Chain A
Amino acid sequence: MKTFADLQFPGRLVAVEGLDGSGKSTQIYLLKRWLEAEGIKVYFSEWNSSELVKSATSKGKKRELLTPTTFSLIHATDFADRYERHLMPLLRAGYVVLCDRYIFTAFARDVTRGCPPDWVRGNYSFACAPDLTMFFKADLDVSLNRILDGRPKLKFFEAGMDLRLSNDPYESFKIFQGRILDQYLAMTKEFNFVIIDANQPVEKQQVIVRKLVSDRIDLKKFKRRSLLPLPPSLRSRRQEPDKEELEKEEDKEA
């Protein structure tokens, strides 16, 4: 699998993966804040967030219409929409793109749900590999406690209830997350995950994350430059007062 750097894209893609409650979203958020403050052209994209596909996904989830196959396909559709609409153009324009979950989430979850690994991987084969994938590895109990401590109402698919692992959503969630973790760990080598010990304090992890990113990516190349000077033809137009503005002024005077 080729990375964006291998394919000479001007941009770079950094992905974080891990179980719910591993703290990966916090880490990528802090990474984004830092890159923005450094003046880097950065874009953040979340799993399952394409506007167009969202209404179908939430209907499917609410009404429990999804099977392992349609669950997999609808998430692939969502990913493809974000990939083609946002990620590709941004990567071509030299952005650092940060992804909270990437195709490996599908590889782990959909296979846990019973989809054949080759089929899932084939469907996502249009996507390039990230230039850096960080896997946040927390002890299963730590992740589970982070999520379950608040005794949240676990959603049907989130808890893996469709797999009929247990009638108790909490029990089901635990078994489901354990199986996903196994899938992730089995992929670590194949996809060059950099494993981050997510049992450490947030600050410590963030230091490691920032170091990794700046070692892997020559960040100064991604700085937002000040706007290019406009060509003379446009410059003169910009200096002219806007027609609408003038009209507004006249209105006021009247």
Chain B
Amino acid sequence: MNNNTHRFYGHGIPQVDSEALGGRLIVVEGADGSGRSTQIAELVNWLETSGHATVQVGLKRSTLVSEELQRAQAGNVLSRTTLALFYATDFADQLENLILPALKSGFIVLADRYIYTLMARDMVRGMDEGWLKNLYGIAPEPDAVFYLSVEPQELVQRNLSKTATLDYWESGMDLGFSRDLFDSFLKYQAAMGEAFRQLQKTYHFDIIDANRSASSVNKDLRKKIGALLVEL
């Protein structure tokens, strides 16, 4: 890999030269309860102490549409194509306003989920993989994608110990797998795991066994990320 450029998956963004994108783009993927936020907080701490400037992005955080997206989701009124495009708009807004400028300035960008979660969710809802790949051809290829893999049964335990309930969307209740939240959660997470395995064929994530303690996972991540920072 060339050390100070990035490639786009598809057409990219008009008038943005991918060669000008330095820095590093590191993605952490995984279900709720897989420990993403904990890992990212630890990584930011470690990177900044070592003198690297960081920027964090995540889903549903754009200035442009995050509020509207939140409202639409609360009412559960959007059909699947609409929801897919709404999330893509949210992603694109952060891409152009945060990710690309940060990479141009040589920052380390940590993404708490990226296009893969969005694609997997849409695939589970029956959207075409080819359509999604074209749509997300605007995304730059990350330097590393870590998928924190946790068994659905373990995810249940972690989510329940944190919030004493299971999230409606993380349980895929809109899909009508089951009226029972617990059953639906397990079925949905299994389907998401399947979609990620399908995407793995194209996007080659680094699958991290996250059924372990947070600190032992973090040690792994630091080692892998450390290797990417040598030339910075």
Interface residues of chain A, those whose CB is within 8 Å of chain B, are 52-53, 55-56, 59-60, 65-70, 73-74, 76-77, 80-81, 83-85, 113-116, 118-119, 122-123, 125-126
Asked if B38 lies at the interface with its beta carbon under 8 angstroms from chain A, I say no
CB distance from B19 to the nearest CB of A (A): 18
B11 with A52: CB separation less than 8 A: no
Assess whether B68 is interfacial by the CB under 8 Å rule.
Answer: yes
B87 closest partner in A (C-beta): A77
Contact with A along B84-117 (1 / 0, CB 8 A): 1110110011011000000000000000000000
Q: How far is the CA of A84 from the CA of B79 in the complex (A)?
A: 6
* CB <8 Å contact, B13 and A77: no
Partner of A69, one of B13, B77, B131: B13
Contacting residue for A125 out of B79, B84, B96, B131, CB 8 A: B131
Asked whether any CB of chain A lies closer than 8 Å to the CB of B226, the reply is no
Secondary structure of the A side of the interface? helix
Closest 8 CB pairs of A and B: A84-B79, A114-B14, A122-B134, A116-B11, A77-B85, A73-B89, A80-B82, A56-B68
Neighbouring A residues of B86 by C-beta, 8 Å: 53, 77
Closest residue on chain A to residue B66 by CB atoms: A56
When distances are taken between beta carbons in the complex, the residues of chain A under 8 Å from B134 are: 118-119, 122-123
Asked if A81 and B135 sit within 8 Å, CB to CB, the answer is no
Pick from A67, A81, A113, A123: contact of B78, CB below 8 A: A81
The docked-state distance in angstroms from the alpha carbon of A76 to that of B131 is 13
B72 to A, closest residue via Cβ: A52
B interface residues, tally (CB under 8 Å)? 32
Nearest B residue to A114, CB-CB: B14
**Contact A67/B96 with A59-B64, A119-B10, A123-B135 known, Cβ cut-off 8 Å:** yes
Q: Looking at the assembled complex, report how far the CB atom of B128 sits from the nearest CB atom of chain A, in whole angstroms.
A: 8
Partner of B14, one of A73, A81, A115: A115
Cα A123 to Cα B88 with chains together (Å): 11
Contact indicator A126/B72 (Cβ below 8 Å): no
CA distance A53 to B72 in the complex (A): 9
Alpha-carbon separation in the docked complex, A66 to B64 (Å): 8
Instruction: With CB as the reference atom, state the residue of chain B lying closest to A125.
Output: B131
Contact A119 B78 (CB under 8 A): no
A69 to B88, CA, bound (A): 10
Min CB–CB distance A43 → chain B (angstroms): 17
B15 in the interface (beta carbon within 8 A): yes
B59 interface hit (Cβ, 8 Å): no
The chain B residue sitting closest to A126, CB to CB, is: B81
B81 is contacted by which of A53, A84, A113 (Cβ under 8 Å)? A84
Let me know if A76 and B68 touch, CB within 8 A.
Answer: no
In the assembled complex, 7 residue pairs joining A and B whose CB atoms fall closer than 8 Å, in A order, are A56-B68, A68-B14, A74-B65, A74-B89, A85-B82, A119-B137, A123-B135
Are B138's CB and A69's CB within 8 A?
Answer: yes
Contact A123:B85 (CB < 8 A) given known A56-B64, A84-B79, A118-B134: yes
Residues of B within 8 A of A70 (CB): 64, 89, 92-93, 96
Report A57 CB to chain B, min CB distance, Å. 9
CB of B63 within 8 Å of the partner chain? yes
Question: What's the nearest-Cβ distance from chain A to residue B66, in Å?
Answer: 9
Across the two chains, which residue of chain A brings its CB closest to B84? A80
CB-CB nearest in chain B for A69? B92
Q: How far is the CA of A82 from the CA of B63 in the complex (A)?
A: 23
Evaluate contact between A69 and B96: CB separation under 8 angstroms. yes
Residues on A with C-beta less than 8 A from B82 are 52, 77, 80-81, 84-85
Complex Cα distance, B82 from A126, in Å, reads: 11
Complex interface: chain B residues within 8 A of A116 (CB) = 11, 14
Please give the distance in Å from A180's CB to the nearest CB on chain B.
Answer: 16
Query: What chain A residues lie within 8 Å of B67 (beta carbons)?
Result: 56
Identify the interface centre among A65, A66, A74, A115: most chain B CB within 10 Å of its CB: A74
Q: How far is the CB of A66 from chain B (nearest CB, A)?
A: 8
Interface string of B157-183 (1 = CB under 8 A from A): 000000000000000000000000000
- Among B14, B65, B137, the residue within 8 A (CB) of A56 is B65
In the complex the two chains form, is A80's CB within 8 Å of B92's CB? no
Query: CB distance A80 to B81 under 8 Å?
Result: yes
Q: Which residues of A contact B13 (CB under 8 A)?
A: 67, 69
Contacting residues, chain A, for B80 (C-beta < 8 A): 84
A77 touches B137 (CB 8 A): no
